[in-house]
Amino acid sequence: MNKTAKFGGTSVASASQIKKVGQIIKDDKDIRAIVVSAPGKRFKADIKVTDLLISLFEEYKSQSPSYIKTLDMIILRYTEISEVLGLDKSLVNSFKEILLGFLTTIKDEYYLKNAIKSSGEDFNARLIAAYLKKIGLKAKYFSPKDLGIVLEYSLEDVHILNKTYENISKFKDSEEILVIPGFYGYSQEGNRLTFSRGGSDITGAIVARGLSCDIYENYTDMTYIYSANPSLFKNPAPIKNISYAEMRELSYNGFEIFQEDAVEPLLDTNIEIHVKNTNKPTEGGTIISQTRTDIDKNPIIGMSDVGDFTSFKLTEYLMNRKVGYIKNVLDIFQYMHIPVEHIPTSIDSVSILVRSEYMGDSSKKSSIVNAINNSFDLDELVMDDSLKSIAIVGEGLRNQMTKALYLISEVLNTNNIKIEYIIQGASNNSLFILINKKNEEICLRSLYKAIYEDRLLEK
């Protein structure tokens, strides 16, 4: 059995956490490679090293002298870790040189930002490799360049090139445990490119696939992935098994534990993802796999608050007879670089639903309203930015959609919650309910009670 284990920010935030990581690796001979994040938060008000690095870049760019203080704070985080782990000082001393080297030599702002951001994981991997060696493990630092993680930046997104997997496969028989920084790879030209936030999860998946591992272990500070937000519900139902498709829906729609693009490299494989807790490695755990077996018992796997939504409702008499109408409306959103999430339609109206985070300030909103008004001869245009979307996800919806819709309507009606929109996901494993923001909490609580406490779907 071969495993790749990825340790998230809280698992590698301090020397005491890194010692736990060392113990986990010592206790499990199947772990062939580890992928590490940058040091995350040690306590609630702490600042993640990646956020410090982003500030460093911004301050340097705007020529603010405060960048020196930020640089010192970053180095201090590693000095503290290195001292407690009893590592050689020269390693951390080199980190300052590396950062200053990037700041003064990389002229392209985008590549500079990526190089600075990626350093949090790079430095941590170097320290952790040194520590693992110190405690007697055969471990070695490998950069994404050594492994051949090749990425491409196109259309404002970073994509994994397929040769990456072949490159990594050459390390399958490595005698040493590979210690790899997460979150970044290299362009063909040799520039560092980072994934989106939380992207070390993606590196973990890439390495697990490249090494043809049986299991990809993903260590965080939670024992399970839960069926609803644990900061809102006391002891929400733990998820013991979830399918890749369900996990992708939930990650995309608000679950923060697993990066939304991290399942993608594993979609065509039989590699299972085990989500585990660094602080309690032998307890619990959520298994993410191609299929799950308890769909009948557990039709809805999770419920999440997707966040704020804005709708643009266009009304024009007999709109549906005009061929290409929706495409013309969507062109405006494409031009403004705003992804569109849902498009409910009727004879005379179409609503464009977008995540409010993409809307920016009020000038962007009025620019869209003006563009729509100038392009169409509308009877009415209504913008509503007071919406919330709640996602209900589960493979069991496929066979129980009617019952689920009935149940949800009944619960919301009893609680006097007006449904603004209800959308059945085309893949049939998700449902989205859009309501006014003010009803968010009551909506989540009443649905949670009906689905998970009273288990009405199973009756």
Beta strand pairing status for 225-226 and 238-239?
Answer: antiparallel
Q: Which stretch binds ligand ASP (CB under 6 A): 89-97, 197-205, 271-279, 393-401?
A: 197-205
User: In the complex with ligand ASP, which residue's Cβ is closer, 120 or 396?
Assistant: 120
Distance between CA 329 and CA 277 in Å, rounded? 46
Nearest approach, Cβ of residue 195 and ligand ASP (Å): 7
Tell the smallest beta-carbon distance from residue 8 to ligand ASP (Å). Answer: 6
CA triple 256-257-260, angle to 5 deg: 65
Chosen residue from 111, 165, 183, 452 binding ligand ASP by CB under 6 A = 183
CA distances from 79 to 69, 93, 305, 398 (A): 15, 9, 39, 53
Nearest-10 Cα torsion for 437, 442, 444, 445: 160
Q: How far is the CB of 202 from ligand ASP (least distance, A)?
A: 8
* Count of other CB atoms within 10 angstroms of residue 110: 11
Which one, 124 or 430, has the nearer CB to ligand ASP?
124
Sign of CA dihedral 434, 438, 439, 442: positive
Closer of 219 and 244 to ligand ASP (Cβ) = 219
Residue with structure tokens 């796999």?
289
Tell me which stretch binds ligand ASP (CB under 6 A): 67-75, 195-203, 214-222, 439-447. Answer: 195-203
- Whole-number minimum distance, CB 186 to ligand ASP, in Å? 17
Instruction: Write down the least CB distance from residue 210 to ligand ASP, Å.
Output: 18
Comparison of 198 and 281: residue with beta carbon closer to ligand ASP: 198
Of 196-204, 237-245, 280-288, 441-449, which segment contacts ligand ASP by CB under 6 A? 196-204
What is the contact mask toward ligand ASP in residues 321 to 340, using x (rule: CB under 6 A)? --------------------
- Residue number, 121 or 246, with CB nearest to ligand ASP: 121
For residue 296, the cross-strand partners are none
Q: What angle is formed at CA 81 by the lines to CA 77 and CA 86, rounded to 5 degrees?
A: 145
**Shortest distance (Å) from residue 120 CB to ligand ASP:** 5
Considering only 200, 251, 278, 311, the residue that binds ligand ASP (CB under 6 A) is 200
Question: Residue 122: enclosing H or E segment and its boundaries?
Answer: helix 109-134
Residue 266 and residue 202: Cα distance in Å, rounded? 10
CA 451/CA 428 separation, integer angstroms: 18
Phi, psi of 429 (to 5 degrees): -115, 15
Applying CB under 6 A, which of residues 12, 13, 55, 120 lies at the interface with ligand ASP? 120
Selected range binding ligand ASP among 160-168, 199-207, 243-251, 338-346, rule: CB under 6 A:
199-207
Binding residue for ligand ASP, selected from 22, 144, 182, 285, defined by CB under 6 A: 182
Candidate ranges 75-83, 198-206, 262-270, 399-407; the one touching ligand ASP (CB under 6 A) = 198-206
Q: What is the distance between the alpha carbons of residues 170 and 397, in angstroms, rounded to a whole number? A: 42
The distance of closest approach from Cβ of residue 361 to ligand ASP in the complex, given in angstroms and rounded to an integer, is 25
* CA gap 55, 39 in Å, rounded: 15
Position among 96, 197, 240, 342 found at the interface with ligand ASP (CB under 6 A) = 197
**226, 360, 373, 388 from 366: Cα distances, Å:** 39, 11, 10, 21
Q: Of residues 148, 181, 199, 254, which one binds ligand ASP by CB under 6 A?
A: 199
Alpha carbon 158 to its chain's center: 14
Taking the least distance from each CB to ligand ASP, the nearer of 193 and 338 is 193
DSSP conformational letter for 117: H
- Angle ∠(440,446,450) on CA atoms, nearest 5: 145
The least CB distance from residue 366 to ligand ASP, in Å, is 33
Over the window 4 to 23, marking each residue x when it contacts ligand ASP by CB under 6 A and - when it does not, the resulting string is -----x--------------
CB of 275 to ligand ASP, least distance (A): 14
Which residue of the chain is nearest ligand ASP when measured via CB? 200
> According to CB under 6 A, which one of 198, 254, 281, 394 is a site residue for ligand ASP?
198
Q: Using the rule CB under 6 A, is 96 a contact of ligand ASP?
A: no
Q: Please work out the total of residues on this chain that contact ligand ASP, with binding judged by CB under 6 A.
A: 13
| One-character DSSP codes across 274-324 | EEEETTSTTS--EEEES--S-TTT-S--EEEEEEEEEEEEEE-TTGGGSTT
Rounded to the nearest angstrom, the gap between the alpha carbon of residue 201 and the centroid of all alpha carbons in its chain is: 8
Q: Which is nearer to ligand ASP, 118 or 243 (CB)?
A: 118
Residue 184 token pair: 């970044």
Q: Are 308 and 388 in contact (CB under 8 A)?
A: yes
Residues 38-67 that bind ligand ASP (CB under 6 A): 38, 48, 50
How is residue 397 written in tokens? 């919806």
Residues near ligand ASP (CB under 6 A) are 9, 37-38, 48, 50, 120, 182-183, 197-201
